[in-house]
Amino acid sequence: MTLQPLTPVNCASLLQPGCSLLQLDGEVLLFGQKGWPKRTCPTGIFSVRFKHNSEMKLRAISLSNDSCYLPPLRCPAVCRLDPYDGLPESYLIHGGRTPNNEISSNLYLLTVDSRGCNRKLTLCCKEKELVGEVPGARYGHTASVVQSLGKTACVLFGGRSYMPARERTTETWNSVVDCPPQVFLFDLEFGCSSAHILPELSEGQSFHLALAREDCVYFLGGHSLASDSRPPRLFRLRVELLQGSPRLSCEALVTGLSISSAITTRTGPTHRYIILGGYQSDSQKSMDCSTVILDEKGIHIEHLEPPKWIPDIIQSRTWFGGSAGESGILLGVPTEGRPSQQDMHYFYHVSFQTEEQGTDVEEGTQGCSQESTDYDDSTPLEDSEELYFGREPHELEDSSDGEGDTYNEEDEEDESQTGYWIKCCLGCQLDPNTWEPYYSTELHRPAMIFCSRGEEGHWVHAQCMELSEAMLLRLSQGNRKYFCHDHGGLPYQEMTPPRQVMPLQRISMKVKDRKTPVTIKMSPAKKRFFRRLFD
């Protein structure tokens, strides 16, 4: 367990309380902030990268052309969907509060659209419509995925919203209240939503934790505005997705945590979590750390030795953060108004990995380092303009203004650890000691092709894919995706449709000095008169 201070490089103002951290396609994504102005990415989604174990940089993430607008949402309900039934990994995002204090009631589905040759990630955002008993606008709630009898559904609970319109006055116009303690259940295929009232859930709660395993969801902690308390509550909600209508049952357990706004991170493929941070009261942070294990028997909560907190963290009144991958947490602590400190927050990376795991992850991170200079050294400003007054000369070095998405040599992988001389797939037959050229285009390395599917994608030897040289050349042209045998069978491509060029309309040129004949308009009677006159 380590606590590592981080130095944000021109991105400290983008991380604010209420932001969310997502883990998608092997990357940590920051969501919930305004995007950089005058850039190719005004979406407010950034890739968080830790460089040299002390620097933190953000790289802008773009959305596909068919994506809908995704507003910067603070404290939404975020739920991860693992791949199932042939669907890719994705995230469900519901509700949230915008920087303009508008509360959303929309549901978005965020997936990976593509990853370019320089490993630039493009996401796709779609808004899903719900029918039936739809949950209202709220924030500070939770969403969880349950699986029962071969079906998958989403459970939504808790949160806060504005006071009803009929109860709002001039003094209480922006006052928020706890949402009614209803459990909303909606299926992901058809979007049918239903509301359920359970007697055990008699009081609204928000900023709690929700941990799910199979058909059970555990609601842990939370804050209630009605009683202004954080009782050590722990509920187990069981969902049975029957053929006709679902059956929900709730049970109040004894062992719980008196905590709100805590951060949870997963420590592996099993249902093992670590809870850190949060608040025990409005003026007291929770400095403890706990391990939560979900198994067939139920939930087990054990105390875990917290990291050695430094004085800046202990003396701060507030803190925030999120899960930065497995066994990692990103913490933000305000600078408490120090005039000598330019940034608004201090940032720390808390790792709960052992030394062996940390070495493996560090080696893997270095081997897959795909850093680009795009946006890294740009100063993020507000939505209006981008100014460079007062910039130092070293801040303008390696600036990417005007470069767009050009290829950067630094984006290439370190082939000593990844790429040509590794086992590209389960059936890889290439040996670096006895390798001989197979294609006529090969000089010193075997030909490779990039598989876009899987975590972060990977390179596969063309010979292992049993490709002919003509097929390899044909697949290497255009903007296409490749899939190896382990990710979809035979390779196929998705080619961008050719651009249609409208033919030019040819207009005949008129001679400048040409005189057009004079035409006189006459009635038929006048024409007959002149004809008889000249005859």
DSSP codes joined into one string, 297-353: S-EEEEEEPPP---HHHHH-S--EEEE-STTEEEEEEE-TT-TT--SSEEEEEEE--
Residue 466 lies in a domain: yes
Alpha-carbon distances of 495 from 50, 365, 457, 486, rounded to whole Å: 34, 31, 18, 21
> Do residues 346 and 460 both lie within one domain?
no
Residue 422 lies in a domain: no
> Do residues 333 and 447 both lie within one domain?
no
Lowest mean pLDDT among 64-68, 81-85, 177-181, 312-316: 81-85
> Which residues fall within 8 angstroms of residue 379, CB to CB, at 6 or more apart?
10, 386, 388, 391, 395
Q: What is the CATH number for 451?
A: 3.30.160.290
487 among annotated binding-site residues:
yes
Q: In what order do the strands lie in the sheet with 272-276?
A: 263-266, 272-276, 289-294, 299-304
The predicted pLDDT at position 76 comes to 93
> Do residues 332 and 467 both lie within one domain?
no
Does residue 258 register a pLDDT over 70? yes
Residue pLDDT, tens place only, 456-505: 667 788 888 777 877 777 776 655 667 777 776 554 544 444 555 666 66
> Do residues 167 and 52 both lie within one domain?
yes
> Do residues 316 and 465 both lie within one domain?
no
Residue pLDDT, tens place only, 63-96: 888 888 888 888 999 998 887 777 788 899 999 9
**Cα–Cα distance, 32 to 14 (Å, whole number):** 9
Q: Of 532, 436, 449, which is closest to residue 493 (Cα–Cα)?
A: 449
Which of 479, 494, 529 is the C-terminal boundary of a domain?
479
Q: Which two tokens stand for residue 244?
A: 């006709």
300 among annotated binding-site residues:
no
**Cα–Cα distance, 351 to 411 (Å, whole number):** 26
Measured in degrees and rounded to the nearest 5, phi and psi for residue 350 equal -100, 120
The predicted pLDDT at position 248 comes to 92
Longest dimension (CA), the chain: 124
Buried b (16+ CB within 10 A) or exposed e, 72-111: bbbbbbbbebeeeeeeebbbbbbbbbebeeebbebbbbbb
Q: Are 33 and 17 contacting, i.e. CB atoms less than 8 angstroms apart?
A: no
Q: Is the pLDDT higher at 531 or at 395?
A: 531
Which of 351, 376, 404 is the C-terminal boundary of a domain?
351
> Do residues 35 and 151 both lie within one domain?
yes
Mean pLDDT of 34-39: 48
Q: Is the pLDDT higher at 425 or at 163?
A: 163
Residue 57 lies in a domain: yes
Does residue 38 register a pLDDT over 80? no
Residue 404 backbone class (left: φ over 0; alpha: ψ -120 to 50; beta: rest): left
* pLDDT grade for 236, boundaries at 50, 70 and 90: very high
Q: Is the pLDDT higher at 461 or at 378?
A: 461
Alpha-carbon distances of 461 from 419, 458, 493, rounded to whole Å: 9, 10, 17
The predicted pLDDT at position 268 comes to 73
Q: Of 248, 276, 274, 251, which is closest to residue 261 (Cα–Cα)?
A: 276
**Cα–Cα distance, 38 to 385 (Å, whole number):** 8
* pLDDT grade for 357, boundaries at 50, 70 and 90: low
Q: What is the mean pLDDT of the chain?
A: 76
Buried b (16+ CB within 10 A) or exposed e, 161-192: bbeeeeeeeeeeeeebbbbebbbbbbbbeeee
The DSSP code for 442 is -
Measured in degrees and rounded to the nearest 5, phi and psi for residue 219 equal -95, 120
Residue 416 lies in a domain: no
Q: Is the pLDDT higher at 451 or at 518?
A: 451
Q: Which residue has 């939930």 as its token pair?
A: 299
Q: Kindly report the CA angle at 183 between 180 and 185, in degrees rounded to 5?
A: 140
- Give the total number of structural domains in the chain: 2
* pLDDT grade for 417, boundaries at 50, 70 and 90: very low
461 among annotated binding-site residues:
yes
> Do residues 235 and 113 both lie within one domain?
yes
SS3 52: coil
Which of 290, 324, 351 is the C-terminal boundary of a domain?
351
> Do residues 442 and 311 both lie within one domain?
no
Measured in degrees and rounded to the nearest 5, phi and psi for residue 131 equal -125, 155
Highest mean pLDDT among 110-124, 171-185, 407-421: 171-185
**Continuous segment of H or E residues that includes residue 264:** strand 263-266
SS3 436: coil
Residue 337 lies in a domain: yes
Q: Of 428, 427, 445, which is closest to residue 436 (Cα–Cα)?
A: 445
179 among annotated binding-site residues:
no
The predicted pLDDT at position 43 comes to 63
Does residue 167 register a pLDDT over 90? no
> Do residues 341 and 442 both lie within one domain?
no
The predicted pLDDT at position 53 comes to 64
464 among annotated binding-site residues:
yes
CA atoms 70, 72, 76, 80: torsion sign = positive
Lowest mean pLDDT among 247-261, 387-401, 482-496: 387-401
Residue 408 lies in a domain: no
- Which value, in Å, is the radius of gyration of the alpha carbons in the chain? 30
Share of the chain above pLDDT 70, in %: 73
Lowest mean pLDDT among 79-83, 304-308, 422-426: 422-426
Burial environment of residue 51 by CB neighbours within 10 A (0 to 12, 13 to 18, 19 or more): middle
Residue 290 lies in a domain: yes
**Cα–Cα distance, 184 to 94 (Å, whole number):** 12
Residue 18 lies in a domain: yes
> Do residues 333 and 475 both lie within one domain?
no
The predicted pLDDT at position 414 comes to 40
**Cα–Cα distance, 59 to 371 (Å, whole number):** 9
208 among annotated binding-site residues:
no
The predicted pLDDT at position 144 comes to 93
> Do residues 347 and 441 both lie within one domain?
no
What is the extent of the structural domain holding 457? 437-479
* pLDDT grade for 409, boundaries at 50, 70 and 90: very low
**Cα–Cα distance, 190 to 353 (Å, whole number):** 40
Q: What is the CATH number for 33?
A: 2.120.10.80
The predicted pLDDT at position 284 comes to 86
Lowest mean pLDDT among 134-143, 220-229, 347-356: 347-356
> Which residues fall within 8 angstroms of residue 143, CB to CB, at 6 or more apart?
77, 78, 79, 92, 94, 154, 155, 156, 210
* pLDDT grade for 512, boundaries at 50, 70 and 90: low
Does residue 373 register a pLDDT over 70? no
Mean pLDDT of 412-423: 47
250 among annotated binding-site residues:
no
> Do residues 309 and 445 both lie within one domain?
no
* pLDDT grade for 513, boundaries at 50, 70 and 90: low
Does residue 259 register a pLDDT over 70? yes
Lowest mean pLDDT among 28-37, 291-300, 325-334, 407-416: 407-416
